[in-house]
Chains A and B, each alone.
Chain A
Amino acid sequence: MANRAALQTRALVVDTFREASARKIIWGFFGCSTVLILFFLLIVKIDVVQGAIATMTIFGKTGQTQDVNRAVRGAHAGIAALLYGFGMLLAILASAGLIPTIFEPGRIELLLSKPIERWHILLGRYLGNLLVIALNIFYPVLTLWIIFGVKTGVWTAGFLWGSILTLFMFAVYLSVILLVGVVWESAVVATMITFGMIILSLIVFNKTMIERLLSSEWSRDIVRGLYYLLPKVIDIGQILGKIVQEQPVESWMPVWSTALFGMACLGGGLWLFQRRNF
């Protein structure tokens, strides 16, 4: 029975990879990562002398000598921020259609007629989508980690842990895409709502400032409520920066509350999918 479930999960994951590969945007993501890797591999020249960067040359311009650990962690933090911001944007755009497409008439009926549970189909697709993006995150992260390690001798694990946090954030957004996909069956609506949610969470991050501008207590409660309810994009970005730079994290509340939001969306999506008629 377990073997059968594994067989079906594998088929769903492989199918998601095939569909993602057929969509050009995934290759765009891969191309951007490769350009970044080639930039650090070929353009940036680093000479390390006794634990300090003696020279750092970019496009023929030589930089100042500094502490190698600090320089590498700074570079790691920059790349992690790029992946967390721009990479996430690309990941959402690339993934928004992968789940809603299975609800297309003529495709969903056939999937549901197979001897597989509904939740299994949806979770298999979710897992496949997550693995596609994981590959696109870990490919530049691991490669750049090795390049920096070889060039400087600094092998800090923070950069790797940070990429897991980036993937976690994407998993939460993917839960939103899944929920919206089940309700509206549209990639466009899924993209719009996910981006709308990100923008809203960026706004309510400044809750203290907004609260000062609001006159009524109930409107302040709404802002506070939205802050705690929605994924905490900026807070988690700050935690990511600390993890990458191997600094202590004061509060994990943004991570677990965001995880709860993601689980609620995922659970809600699965629950609705079980009950829907196609």
Chain B
Amino acid sequence: MTADYAIETLGLTKSFSRGWRGKPFLAVDGISLRVERGTTFGLLGPNGAGKTTFVKMLLSSAHPTSGMAKVFGEDTKLRRARQRIGYLPENHRFPTYMTGIGMLDFYGALSGMDGATRRRRIPELLEKVGLAQWGGTRLGKYSKGMLQRVGLAQALIHEPELLVLDEPSDGVDPVGRRQIRDILEELEHKGVTIFLNSHLLAEVETFCRDVAIIQSGKVALEGKISDLTAGSGYRVEAEGIPERLETDLRAVAKSFSNVNGTAGVLFDDRDQANHAVDLLRREGCTIEKFGRVNSSLEEIFIRTVSGK
């Protein structure tokens, strides 16, 4: 293991026992993952796949049963490793008796920042997340979106090199969502590694460069989003397909859909698609569209988790 990676796990495993003498349940099953420095990494998976447990082990709130997790080459159990991480949990519960400023001051102090640095940094961050006017208000009066934004400010208070975000856009309106994305893009340009755990596939697809899909505690798919979504097939759209031809096409196509009389047929390779176009022309069908299509991350995700 080297410090070349922002996150590096080796055979990371977590099992829980169900009740007394219960059969152990593997929440995370030997995950080995490498996240390059300065990248934007998305972690995806269906509910109960083990994403949250994986993140908890990265942040040392859960202890691995076996394997190890390192951040910039250092074991995450070590305090100095966590010094370089900023974290926004999914269902965070910030104390409602605190004001925005008080909360940032508290977590800043826990991160080892001295008073002068905190006093300089807090107004900057509140301005950045669009809460400059709300710093003195108790968190109990904040909306969900405002809590999300002040939570992001909390994660950034000590200028971390790695940002771990669990559903950062949850409950945030479109304007706030855009604001968060702008902040994250700015951080990406500064070389901060961003690790995003989100169920919003479009968000991951738009923002992340690398992705891993976890299923049943294991990495089911991993790679660059651009590679995974490239060259997935050829799509033909046509009208007026006779029933007999439709049956023939369904037999060879990867997928077949029919919306308001327009059929969409997806083929694995170009030759199959060209042959289908010949058949359609011969039958006098109208070709609406023909071309290469990339898979969306959603398609890849569904294919991966459903095993089809």
Which B residues are within 8 Å of any A CB, using their own CB?
Answer: 16, 56, 59-63, 79-80, 82-83, 85, 87, 89-95, 97-98, 102, 105-107, 109-112, 114, 154, 164
Contacts and interface: CB of A to CB of B under 8 A. Distances in A.
Interface string A6-37: 01101110110011011000000000000000
A106 interface: yes
Contacts of A12: 110
B97 A22 contact: yes
B89 A115 contact: no
A110 interface: yes
Contacts of B111: 114-115
A212 interface: no
Contacts of A275: 63
Q: Looking at B102, B105, B110, which has the most chain A CB atoms within 10 Å of its CB?
A: B110
B87 A115 contact: no
Nearest 4 A-B pairs (CB), nearest first?
A11-B109, A106-B93, A22-B97, A115-B83
Contacts of A86: none
B82 A7 contact: no
A127 to B, nearest CB: 15
A8 B112 contact: yes
Given A15-B106, A104-B93, A107-B92, A113 B114 contact: no
Contacts of B114: 7
Contacts of A106: 89-93
A10 B108 CA distance: 12
A137 to B, nearest CB: 23
A109 B59 contact: yes
Contacts of B93: 104-107
A117 interface: yes
A110 B79 contact: no
Interface string A86-99: 00000000000000
A275 B61 CA distance: 10
A116 B79 contact: yes
A107 B96 CA distance: 11
A109 B106 contact: no
B110 A111 contact: yes
Contact of B62 (A8, A19, A278): A278
A112 interface: yes
A108 interface: yes
A61 interface: no
B222 to A, nearest CB: 24
Nearest to A114: B110
Contacts of A15: 95, 98, 106
Give the interface SS of chain B, mostly helix, strand, loop or mixed: loop
Nearest to B103: A15
Assign chain A's interface to a size class: 20 to 34
12 contacts: A8-B110, A10-B109, A15-B95, A18-B95, A106-B92, A109-B59, A110-B87, A111-B110, A112-B60, A112-B61, A115-B79, A278-B56
A22 B109 CA distance: 21
Given A7-B109, A11-B106, A115-B82, A107 B94 contact: yes
A116 B110 contact: yes
B296 to A, nearest CB: 32
Contacts of A111: 110
A117 B62 CA distance: 14
A64 interface: no
**Best-surrounded residue of B60, B61, B90, B154 (most CB of chain A within 10 A):** B61
Contact of B61 (A8, A22, A104, A109): A109
A259 B85 CA distance: 39
Nearest to B96: A22
Interface in A164-206: none
Contacts of A112: 59-61
Interface in A58-90: none
A277 interface: yes
**Of A10, A107, A111, A115, most B-chain CB atoms within 10 Å:** A115
A134 to B, nearest CB: 21
Contact of A113 (B63, B87, B91, B95): B87
A18 B99 CA distance: 11
A6 B300 CA distance: 50
Given A7-B112, A104-B93, A115 B80 contact: yes
Contacts of A7: 109, 112, 114
B245 to A, nearest CB: 57
A14 B112 CA distance: 15
Nearest to B76: A113
Given A22-B97, A277-B63, A4 B112 contact: yes
A278 B62 CA distance: 6
Contacts of A114: 82, 107, 110-111
A105 B82 CA distance: 19
B79 A117 contact: yes
A113 B151 CA distance: 14
